[in-house]
């Protein structure tokens, strides 16, 4: 693989060899793949700093790959995209506080709307500015988080019919269990969504954008695709769940986390290492120290429960993960300061290494810590610099 071609300073730890490398060509290909699979408009979800990958870089790559919308969770995240010169439509996925409406409109963001107070405030702001404000109405069909609940559907449509400065340019819902293909919930939610769409049309609301699908919906529930899909985790090449594996759909991880051995030593059988001596060397052998820890986002629950590729070979993380360092058991193989350690992704030189073609997956970490890939990649802190590679 070619070395990274561009570097974006993101944090202070420039003297430490620990970096996150993001392959922007993988993001582009994943978006193109999702567009091909779904044959509909792709809205690339870049909230939480692009799931830890870097929102501006990911947004740019996603638009290059064929996305026509972006989505964020916060007004501030939308402002960041605008400040970087990104002009594409940006959907804010939940209502911000009413006080943020001015900033939202200044940044030309498209709000998600559902509560009466927010809708009235948006209408007033539109009136004041002398133009209609495009918004995407969200209905709760079973997620139970935000959105107009079914009992309020008629009254909310009545309100919207009486707020001339709010234009319902989209109607959306969100799926609670799309990542469990066998669960009947998705079909039930989509049936409820269809009932709402019929009601809305009868009241004269027939917007161009109708959307329900997240990545799992887009991949395994074709009936959820409607006219747009809001794909997050899939554009990063990661799996929504164990049951919906990104690799099965041709999506490839964009993130690689790498470091280098900072200290190496031979220990005697029975030697305890790291806090609490939660691991002891089974035989005489080599232990490597790696300069990354839980303050970087390598969760402490991975103590004794993760593997890395060290000089190309799969090795176990042993003992407690510390704040800034962790330890790796290399058994009989002598290890040297400077040897490459890949914590996520493939080894740099897969060539003739013992585990050529092997890669450590975020899915492995998720399983080890009883979580999901989303939490793994959004958990990396600002201390780890992000570097960008692009094969163009
Ligand atoms: C985060 C989010 C998404 C993206 O979900 P993925 O599973 O990452 O594809 C879509 N819609 C809403 C409302 C979200 O909050």
Q: Name the band, by pLDDT with cuts 50, 70 and 90, for residue 2.
A: low
Determine whether the shortest distance from the Cβ of 147 to ligand 1 is under 6 A: no
Q: What percent of the chain has pLDDT over 70?
A: 95
pLDDT in tens, 281-316: 999 999 999 999 999 999 999 999 999 999 999 999
User: Ligand 1 centroid to 378 CA: how many Å?
Assistant: 13
Q: Which tokens is 199 given? A: 């009601």
Please report the atom of ligand 1 found closest to the CA of residue 93. 13
pLDDT bracket for residue 103 (50, 70, 90): very high
* 342-374: pLDDT as tens digits: 999 999 865 555 566 799 999 999 999 999 999
Average pLDDT, the chain: 95
Q: What per-residue confidence (pLDDT) applies to 10?
A: 46
Q: In the prediction, which pLDDT does 354 show? A: 57
Residue 14 token pair = 């420039």
**For a pocket test of ligand 1, which of 30, 45, 210 has the largest count of ligand atoms closer than 8 A to its C-beta?**
45
- Cα 391 from chain centre: 22
Q: Does the beta carbon of 230 sit less than 6 angstroms from any atom of ligand 1?
A: yes
Q: Which residues are catalytic?
A: 47, 275
Please check the confidence at residue 4 and state whether its pLDDT lies above 80.
Answer: no
Tell me what pLDDT residue 312 has: 95
- Where residue 6 falls among pLDDT bands split at 50, 70, 90? low
pLDDT the model gives residue 1: 52
**pLDDT higher than 90, residue 221:** yes
Distance separating alpha carbons of residues 122 and 167, to the nearest angstrom? 10
- What pLDDT is attached to residue 8? 52
CA dist 227 and 363 (Å) reads 30
Residue 38 pLDDT more than 60? yes
Look at residue 265 and give its three-state secondary structure.
strand
Mean pLDDT of 17-46: 98
User: For 140-155, how does the pLDDT look when each residue is reduced to its tens digit (9 = 90+)?
Assistant: 999 999 999 999 999 9
Alpha helix (H) residue ranges in 53-115: 55-64, 75-83, 101-106
Q: Checking DSSP bridges between strand 41-45 and strand 228-231, what pairing results, if any? A: parallel
Tell me how far apart the alpha carbons of residues 191 and 211 are, in angstroms, rounded to a whole number.
13
- Alpha-carbon torsion (312, 314, 319, 322), positive or negative: positive
Can you tell me which atom of ligand 1 is nearest the CA of 174? 13
Q: What is the pLDDT of residue 350?
A: 54
| Low-confidence winner among 9-23, 40-54, 98-112, 243-257 (lowest mean pLDDT) | 9-23
Gap between the Cα atoms of 253 and 242, Å rounded: 15
Q: Is 45 in the pocket of ligand 1 (CB under 6 A)?
A: yes
Residue in 263, 240, 260, 265 with CA at minimum distance from that of residue 251: 240
Q: What is the DSSP letter of 327?
A: E
* Strand 307-310 versus strand 313-318 pairing type: antiparallel
């Amino acid at each position: 693989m070619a070395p990274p071609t561009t570097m974006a300073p993101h944090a202070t730890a420039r003297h430490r060899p620990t970096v996150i490398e993001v392959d922007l060509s993988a993001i582009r290909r994943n978006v193109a793949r999702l567009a091909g699979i779904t044959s509909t408009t792709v809205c690339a979800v870049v909230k939480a700093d692009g799931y830890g990958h870097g929102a501006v870089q990911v947004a740019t790559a996603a638009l290059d790959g064929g996305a026509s919308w972006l989505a964020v969770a916060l007004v501030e995240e939308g402002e960041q995209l605008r400040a970087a010169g990104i002009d594409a439509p940006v959907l804010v996925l939940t209502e911000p506080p009413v006080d943020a409406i001015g900033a939202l409109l200044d940044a030309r963001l498209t709000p998600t709307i559902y509560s009466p107070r927010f809708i009235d405030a948006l209408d007033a702001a539109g009136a004041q500015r002398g133009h209609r404000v495009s918004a995407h109405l969200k209905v709760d069909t079973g997620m139970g988080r935000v959105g107009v609940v079914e009992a309020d559907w008629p009254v909310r449509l009545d309100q919207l019919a009486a707020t001339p400065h709010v234009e319902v340019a989209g109607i959306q819902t969100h799926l609670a269990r799309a990542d469990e293909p066998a669960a009947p919930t998705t079909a039930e939610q989509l049936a409820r969504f269809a009932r709402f769409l019929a009601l809305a049309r009868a009241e004269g609301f027939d917007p161009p954008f109708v959307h329900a699908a997240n990545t799992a919906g887009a991949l395994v529930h074709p009936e959820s695709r409607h006219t747009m899909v809001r794909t997050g985790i899939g554009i990063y090449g990661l799996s929504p769940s164990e049951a919906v594996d990104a690799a099965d759909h041709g999506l490839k991880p964009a993130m690689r986390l790498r470091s280098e051995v900072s200290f190496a030593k031979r220990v005697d059988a029975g030697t305890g290492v790291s806090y609490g001596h939660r691991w002891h060397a089974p035989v005489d052998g080599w232990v490597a120290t790696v300069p990354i820890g839980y303050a970087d986002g390598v969760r402490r629950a991975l103590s004794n429960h993760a593997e890395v590729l060290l000089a190309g070979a799969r090795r176990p993380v042993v003992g407690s993960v510390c704040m800034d360092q962790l330890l790796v058991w290399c058994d009989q193989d002598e290890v040297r300061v400077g040897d490459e350690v890949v914590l996520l992704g493939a080894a740099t030189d897969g060539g003739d290494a013992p585990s050529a073609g092997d890669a450590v997956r975020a899915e492995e970490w998720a399983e080890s810590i009883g979580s999901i890939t989303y939490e793994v990649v959004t958990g990396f802190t600002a201390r780890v610099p992000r570097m960008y590679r692009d094969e163009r």
